[in-house]
Structure 1
Amino acid sequence: MNETVTGNWGDGSEVTKRLTGSWSFNRLIEGQGSMQGLATFTPSGPDGLAYREQGRLKLLTGTELEAEREYVFHGHGRGFDVFFKEAPPRLFHTVELVASDDGALNGSADHLCGFDRYQSTYTFRPEGSFVIRHIVSGPRKDYTMVTTYRRKA
């Protein structure tokens, strides 16, 4: 595996440390709507980050709602684990990061939720932004959600 240090992210083991702070985000949920808001990563334990997002969800039907979501990230070796914020925590997925030729760090993961499958990719770009893409398919869900994060000044 390529462990090259890339852009603002360092190598895969450093990503969770560099996520700490506030990020603005723009989310597109294909065929359903969009969301804009603020995500915050707060240190939680030696290798953990509490993730909380809040924003305005705008559905294509015209409905607008305030929405929020929470996860817990735990850094490890070359990436991180993402847990649902529940008691006890439940694993969403594990992401191993690899440097690409364009200077980004990339990782992917799968999660089965009942009969619905989440295929997720993470791209940490050299200039400091990052993108999370979830392709969700199954009998109850069928959509692609792409969220772009930029460091809040």
Structure 2
Amino acid sequence: MPSFASWGTPETVFDRLPGAWALERTIEGQATMSGTAVFTPLEAGLLKYREEGRIRLADGKEFDGHRDYVFERAPGGFVVHFAETPRRLFHAIAVLPEGDALAGSATHLCTPDTYDSAYCFLPDGSFTIRHTVHGPRKDYLSATVFRRRAG
């Protein structure tokens, strides 16, 4: 199997996540967020994900926000859980070659809305997550770019 720059192979993507990442998010027509995401190892095969940043709404209001997940190693990819006890599944991502990148996607039903999520691990070492949300309560696209923080 070919290597995909700093990500290696679908089997090694999970191993490359730990550490700090700068994040830039756009929620189409609604808000932006700038901040940091940190993947911290827990027990074997688990990473705590914590993002913190400044959210700016379309009307100019600003506030701090955060979100937590737990990432779990899985064959050929990873599983993302909500950071709850007991853990609850958000989605499972099978990572596959896609052009010069590695990518995976999944759908999560959060009744009554649907989240279609796509991850793309790029040759330059950055990655993106896009959540397209449709339903009677929510309808938006959230696009986040992650770049490794120096240090």
After TM superposition, is the score higher than 0.5?
yes
- What is residue 29 of structure 2 aligned with on the other side? 31
Cα distance in 1 for partners of 2:43, 2:33 equals: 30
Partner of residue 110 from structure 1, selected from 85, 103, 107:
107
Gap runs ≥5 in structure 1: none
Matches of 1:80 and 1:133 in 2, distance apart? 16
Report the residue type matching 2:16 in the other structure. R
Q: CA RMSD in A?
A: 0.8
Which stretches of structure 1, 4 residues or longer, exceed 3 Å deviation after superposition? Answer: none
Question: What is the Cα deviation at residue 21 of structure 1?
Answer: 0.2
TM-score under structure 2 length normalisation: 0.97
Q: Is the 8 A contact 1:104 1:123 kept in 2?
A: yes
Q: Percent identity, please.
A: 48
Give 3-state SS (helix, strand or coil) of 2:5's partner: coil
For residues 65 and 14 of structure 2, the distance between their equivalents in structure 1, rounded to whole angstroms, comes to 24
Please say if 1:10 is aligned against 2:8. yes
Deviation string 1:40-78 (CA, Å, 9 cap, x unpaired) is 000111111100000000000111010000000001111
What CA deviation, in whole Å up to 9, does each residue of 1:88-146 have, x standing for no partner?
A: 00000000011122x20010000000110000000000110000000000000000000
State which of 41, 44, 61 in structure 2 corresponds to 1:43: 41
Unaligned runs of 5+ in 2: none
Give aligned pairs, total. Answer: 150
Quick check: 1:127 aligned with 2:135?
no
In structure 2, give the amino acid aligned to 1:132. Answer: I
Query: Could you tell me how far 1:5 is from its partner in structure 2?
Result: 2.1
TM, length-normalised to structure 1: 0.96
Q: Distance in 1 between matches of 2:11 and 2:96?
A: 10
Q: Of residues 135, 139, 143 in structure 2, which corresponds to 1:138?
A: 135
Report the CA distance between 1:13 and its aligned residue: 1.6
Matches for 1:71-110 after TM superposition, within 5 Å: 71-101=69-99, 103-110=100-107
Amino acid across the alignment from 2:125: G
Separation in structure 2 between the aligned mates of residue 100 and residue 87 of structure 1, nearest angstrom: 35
